[in-house]
Amino acid sequence: MEPEVQTLREPSLLDALLPLIALVVMLFLSVSLYADNSSYGANQIALLLAAGVAGLIGLKNGLRWEAIEDAVVQGVSVSTKAVFILLMVGSLIGTWILAGIVPTLIGYGLQILSPSIFYAASCVICAIVGLAIGSSWTVAGTIGIALMGVAAAMGLSPAITAGAVISGAYFGDKMSPLSDTTNLAPAVAGADLFEHIRAMIWTTGPSFVIALTLFAVIGLNAEPVVSGDGLGDVSSMLQAQFNVGWYLLIPVAVVFLLAMRKFPALPTIAIGALLGAVFAMVFQPEQTAAVGAADSRGHAMALLAGAWTAMFDGYQSSTGIDRVDSLLSRGGMSSMLNTVWLILCAMAFGSVMERVGLLKRLVQSVLRAAHTATGLILATLFTTIGVNVIAADQYMAIVLPGRLYRDEFERRGLHPVNLSRALEDAGTLTSPLVPWNTCGAYMAATLGVATVAYLPFCFFNLINPLIAGAFAVVGFQVRQMAVEARAAS
């Protein structure tokens, strides 16, 4: 028998829009019914139901159900790396708190940083570390956690602090030649890496300066809830509960060194978590044994059980002081499971949309409306943001529009750095602003602040795409290949 030939109909624009309309309606209902708790299951159901709508459209157009299932499996597999990194970050948070690493960082932060400069300083610190290691996730999962603790101890806004951490981390990630997205965007667009970075300075530099100015102004007008005496109480309680000292920062230095040497993210964070477990057993034996139920085990086994528990279930502080307990009761792989659930559902939706051809159909509609260089760059910015929302993954948001628009940029004589810069301005930077995007879900889970809460304060991430669009409208730094070729000759 000859194999059955599958005849597929091209999706219409209405086909492509229906799942998006369904998703928007269900997310609105989710937030209306469950408010801040909508990300604990309601949003996941909305994403899966919207994926079902996209799947039904695929079946209508002649796609087999097996092909849709395969697309879901493939899409979920793409997120596997992010899922395991997220789980390992949960372990790192748990062991670093138990080992006294996070309390030490918080203690030093309270001594060095004042409330008036805290937001701006946090942004700069994360930007410098991000430039050095090229990973916004690593910055947020290490320095970011400590800065969130310092902010809580000072009585400053966790949402603004998260915005400052994310702004700085993504500036460093975007401008670092060590970053995977900074390498991916020019590779997809056909541009040179360092030419791409130089081109990004024009949009990234002003955006970062404006963001820093806003954080500085907010900081000068900040009114901490905790007084100076209260900060001393927090520091004293941390020192009473943990043995603190500079040597506890060795795991932090090891993680940053491995990241700077381009060691893969998953083993880097795993090594940091395991070092935290060892340091907990060596330098915090009483706390670790207590977590491991020393009364029912021998001391050695209690130490091992305590470190092990911190890795999968985090650390629970019980000082009786709410401010300190809220600072230290965090971490463990179990704390990341809801975020993993959200990522899997979001990737399922994005994968079905791509396999059925609905994403491509939406992009084609946008491309038809882009008749000028300005229109093409704006179309790239909007499309990249849209893919971040629909496909829930920053890598797909860079690769898919880059692949679809590259020939059109070349046909119109536009330099490939125009495309690569637009992909990063909109793709890399808006990814943490979408609650179900892998980056948004990661930042919310790691920093302990809901995406919708920190979003208004991610000034750099919000301003950069706007400046990129404004430059495209006025034609500033829109480079033409023909002009540059004539200048070179």
Please say if the pLDDT value at position 372 is more than 60: yes
Share of the chain above pLDDT 90, in %: 29
Residues 6+ apart with CB under 8 A from 386: 362
Please say if the pLDDT value at position 113 is more than 90: no
Decide if 370 contacts 98 (C-beta within 8 A): no
Q: Band the pLDDT of 56: cuts 50, 70, 90.
A: very high
Instruction: Please state, in angstroms and rounded to a whole number, the distance separating the CA atoms of residues 57 and 16.
Output: 9
pLDDT digits (tens, 9 = 90+) for 411-450: 888 889 999 999 999 989 999 999 888 899 899 988 989 9
Residue 3: the pLDDT is 45
pLDDT digits (tens, 9 = 90+) for 62-107: 999 999 999 888 888 877 887 888 888 889 888 988 998 888 888 8
- Domain range annotation of the chain: 81-335
- Which of 209-223, 309-323, 360-374, 389-403 has maximum average pLDDT? 209-223
Instruction: Please state, in angstroms and rounded to a whole number, the distance separating the CA atoms of residues 382 and 39.
Output: 25
Instruction: Please state, in angstroms and rounded to a whole number, the distance separating the CA atoms of residues 289 and 298.
Output: 9
Q: H/E/C letters for each residue in the chain? A: CCCCCCCCCCCCHHHHHHHHHHHHHHHHHHHHHHHHHHHCCHHHHHHHHHHHHHHHHHHHCCCCHHHHHHHHHHHHHHCHHHHHHHHHHHHHHHHHHHCCHHHHHHHHHHHHCCCCCHHHHHHHHHHHHHHHHCCHHHHHHHHHHHHHHHHHHHCCCHHHHHHHHHHHHHHHHHHCCCCHHHHHHHHHHCCCHHHHHHHHHHHHHHHHHHHHHHHHHHHHCCCCCCCHHHHHHHHHHHHHHCCCCHHHHHHHHHHHHHHHCCCCHHHHHHHHHHHHHHHHHHHCHHHHHHHCCHHHCCHHHHHHHHHHHHHHHCECCCCCCHHHHHHHCECCHHHHHHHHHHHHHHHHHHHHHHHHCHHHHHHHHHHHCCCCHHHHHHHHHHHHHHHHHHHCCHHHHHHHHHHHHHHHHHHCCECHHHHHHHHHHHHHHHHHHCCCCHHHHHHHHHHCCCHHHHHHHCHHHHHHHHHHHHHHHHCCCCCEHHHHHHHHC
Whole-number mean pLDDT of the chain?
Answer: 85
Give the residue with greater pLDDT, 279 vs 406: 279
Please say if the pLDDT value at position 485 is more than 80: no
Q: What is the CA radius of gyration of the chain?
A: 24
pLDDT digits (tens, 9 = 90+) for 254-304: 988 888 887 887 888 899 999 999 999 999 998 888 887 755 667 788 889
Share of the chain above pLDDT 70, in %: 92
Q: Which of 86, 88, 89, 104 is nearest to 250 (CA)?
A: 104
Give the residue with greater pLDDT, 146 vs 206: 206
Bridge partners, 480 (sequence order): 414
Instruction: Please state, in angstroms and rounded to a whole number, the distance separating the CA atoms of residues 273 and 373.
Output: 48
Return the number of other C-beta atoms located less than 10 Å from residue 323's C-beta.
Answer: 16
Token pair recorded at residue 453: 């809460």
Residue 353: the pLDDT is 87
Instruction: Please state, in angstroms and rounded to a whole number, the distance separating the CA atoms of residues 356 and 20.
Output: 14
Longest dimension (CA), the chain: 84
Instruction: Please state, in angstroms and rounded to a whole number, the distance separating the CA atoms of residues 138 and 134.
Output: 9
pTM to 2 decimal places: 0.80
Residue 55: the pLDDT is 93
Please say if the pLDDT value at position 4 is more than 50: no
Q: Band the pLDDT of 2: cuts 50, 70, 90.
A: very low
Token pair recorded at residue 151: 């902010």
Give the residue with greater pLDDT, 240 vs 47: 47
Least confident range from 108-117, 213-222, 251-260, 379-388: namely 108-117
